[in-house]
Amino acid sequence: MWKWIKQWILLGWLFDLYSDDNGIKKVKIGNRIFAPLFYSIAGMPALFMSTADEISGYIYQKYFSKKSLKGLDASTIRATWDYMKKTEEERKFLRDYIKNRTLPDETPAITFILTPYEENGHTIPDDMSGVSNDALNVIRAMCEENVKDGIAVFLCLYVDDHAPRWMDINNHREVWKKVHKKVGDIVNGYILSIEANEKATSKGHIENCVNIIREVMPGADYYSVHLQWKANNGRYCWTGGATTPTNINVVWVEYSWNPDRGDAVGLGGLKNEYGAINHNNQQIDLVHQEWNLKAGGSIEAAQRAYLRSQRAWGIG
């Protein structure tokens, strides 16, 4: 807890120094974005490594636990989702990682989550009972440090299988209004949830919740959702075309396989699925974000090079 108090004091001081009237503006997005979800911490000084409590939460267990990895060694891989709980040094490392791998015709970008509490730097509580001014200042400072580095910010409101739940967003309006008032001028867009398809009962279910975001968080450039291709929960399955929500302008794409299988699927498998996804989603921008967890590997590099050769709007 003392670690969080010290971080809040520091971020509060930075917020006072770079307050709302400091002239910081949201990053202007060009033709394409580069928004990696997974990144390698190989080469990061041991002093800067995440502490035990920072790698024990929901996001780490979702992607990097032995159970989820099925034997794959990913001890040097992390995800951007839990940016707000990372150490200051790792956040700086991550921003440099993104910038240094962005091509001249791409805009560097990042996605990170605002809930749950264990992953958001202890800012917004899971019961969504409110958000303090101090917490809002921390969220603002986290966004600002990316914007000052030229990185476009896309905030994800919820995760897929942890409270609070995206389908309850109508009860969370006041929290999101306050967040938007604090950061809406410097963020590029909002994402409803990680893997919204898992709990969606229909396309309309997602659209209704996105409409609430548009109402309480107006004026963003992008309203979007993270979906896994062809994942079928028995009620909703995203296959593009008529199954794509009509009130969003971006889909953050997870390919049909678990990302720890990215190497096994290989370049050929990614090419085949990219063709199907792109063919069925001509009407909307796509960020091909989640397809290989093994950041820095040779197969992952070849897969990304292919996506870039296809001029995909967004690449992870």
- Tens digits of residue pLDDT in 165-220: 999 999 999 999 999 999 999 999 999 999 999 999 999 999 999 999 999 999 99
Distance between CA 26 and CA 42 in Å, rounded? Answer: 30
Which pTM was predicted? 0.92
Q: What three-state secondary structure class fits 241?
A: helix
Sign of the CA dihedral 57, 84, 307, 77? Answer: negative
Please give the share of the chain, as a percent, with pLDDT higher than 90. Answer: 81
The packing angle between helices 298-309 and 262-279, to 10°, is 10
Distance between CA 63 and CA 111 in Å, rounded? Answer: 16
Distance between CA 182 and CA 242 in Å, rounded? Answer: 35
> Above 50 in pLDDT, residue 18?
no
The pLDDT, as a whole number, for residue 17 is 41
**Please, what is the average pLDDT of the chain?**
91
Please give the share of the chain, as a percent, with pLDDT higher than 70. Answer: 88
The packing angle between helices 133-147 and 173-183, to 10°, is 40
Which helix (H) or strand (E) is 228 found in, with range? strand 222-228
- Tens digits of residue pLDDT in 195-209: 999 999 999 999 999
The pLDDT, as a whole number, for residue 13 is 45
Calculate mean pLDDT across residues 147-171. 97
| Among 10-19, 36-45, 300-309, the least confident range | 10-19
The pLDDT, as a whole number, for residue 185 is 98
Q: What is the DSSP string of 152-189?
A: EEEEEEE-SSSSS-GGGGGG-HHHHHHHHHHHTTT--E
**Confidence bin at 73 (pLDDT 50/70/90):** confident
- Tens digits of residue pLDDT in 271-282: 999 999 999 999
By CB neighbour count within 10 A (0-12 exposed, 13-18 middle, 19+ buried), where does 275 fall?
Answer: exposed
Structure token digits, residue 108: 């560097």
Calculate mean pLDDT across residues 113-124. 96
The packing angle between helices 203-216 and 173-183, to 10°, is 50
**Confidence bin at 142 (pLDDT 50/70/90):** very high
- Tens digits of residue pLDDT in 241-266: 999 999 999 999 999 999 999 999 99
Q: How many CB atoms lie within 10 A of CB 165?
A: 18
The pLDDT, as a whole number, for residue 76 is 85
> Above 90 in pLDDT, residue 230?
yes
Domains of the chain as residue ranges with CATH: 2-315 (3.20.20)
The pLDDT, as a whole number, for residue 10 is 54
